[in-house]
Amino acid sequence: MSTTPASEFERELRLLEPRLTALPDKPEETPAATLAALWHLAAGTRLSAAAAQGASLPSLDAAGRARLTELIEQRLSGIPLAHITGRQTFMGLELLSEPGALIPRRETEILGRALWDKSDELAASTPSLLAVDVCTGSGNLAVALASRHPAARVFAADLSPEACELARRNVQHLNLQDRVQVRVGDLLAPFDSPEFHGRVDLLSCNPPYISTARMAGMPAEIISHEPSLAFDGGALGVRIIQRLITEAPRYLKPGGWLLFEVGLGQGPAVQNRVIKTGKFEAVTTRADEAGEARVVIARLT
C-alpha cells in the first residue's frame, strides 16, 4: 500500500518526539515544526521552523528519505536547527542564519515590536527616520525596521566581521541594500561623526547580557555553536549595557528613543540606572509573557 507524505511524516514524528528536546528560548521549534523544516530541506527547500509549519509537505524519494535521516541526526547531535536549514524567522521575515551570528530569538521580538511602535509614533512627524542598531548580529532588528518604514534610513553595526557579513547578506536577501548600511566596529564607534551626533531618532541594541561566570553553564547547543561574543556581558552581565547608556546621549536627538534588551532579572536595576543618569525621561520597560522586564525604553530629554 502506498503512503502519503502526511502519513510518512506522522511516522517519523512519532520516532522523533521522544528524542528531541527544544530549548526554552526557541519555543517555535516543536518536534513537528523541526521535522517539517528538515523534511523540506531534504526535498531541497530551505525554510525556518515557523515557515515550514505552514507549507505543504513534498514527497520524498529514496534519496530524500536518506537525506532526511542524516538531517535528523544532525539536529539530534545538537546542531541548531537554524544552522542546518540556514533560515530563521524574525518579525515575520525569513532571514538567513549562519554560525557567525546569534540566532534571532522569539524574545527579541519584544524589542522588535517596541521599535516598531516608537517608529510608528515618530513617522507621523519625522518622515525620514534616522535609526541605528548596534550589536546587530544577523541584522534582524535593522531589516525589520527598514521593512516596516520604507522612508527610514537604517544603519547597523557589530564588532564581529562575520556577523556583519551575514547582516549584509540579509539586507540583500530582503532587497533593502538601498536603505540599510552595515558597518564593522565597537558599539557606537562606527557612527562617531557629525552625521550622527545628536541626529539619531531611534537607537536600538540587543547586547550581550549573560555574566561571564554563567557562560560555562549554558546549553551546549548554544555555547558550542553560537558566538560567545554575542552572549558575554562581562562580570555582571551589564558591561555593554552600561556603555550603551553612557554613550547613547551623544548620538540621539532630543526626543529620540533608546531601546535595548536586558536579561532575566536585570530590568528593574537597569531601568533605575537609566533614570539616574538624568538624561532620559519616560523610562519604561516591556515584559515577556511571564511578566519579566526584557526591554528598556527611554527618551532623551
C-alpha 172/C-alpha 185 separation (Å) is 20
Amino acid at 154: V
Per-residue model confidence (pLDDT) at position 2: 53
| Beta-sheet pairing, 180-184 with 153-158 | parallel
What does the mean pLDDT of the chain come to? 95
Task: Read off the pLDDT of residues 54-98 as tens digits, 9 standing for 90 and up.
Answer: 899 999 999 999 999 999 999 999 999 999 999 999 999 999 999
Asked: is 108-300 a CATH 3.10.580.10 domain? The reply is: no
Residue 203's Cβ-count burial label (10 Å; 0-12, 13-18, 19+) is: buried
For residue 156, give the nearest of 136, 174, 170 by alpha carbon: 136
Instruction: List Cα–Cα distances, 186 to 136, 160, 258, in angstroms.
Output: 11, 9, 18
DSSP assigned state of 151: T
| Beta-sheet pairing, 130-134 with 93-96 | unpaired
pTM of the entire predicted model? 0.95
Find residue 232's DSSP bridge partners: 210
Give me the residues of the chain with pLDDT under 70, please.
1-2
Domain boundaries, the chain: 5-85, 108-300
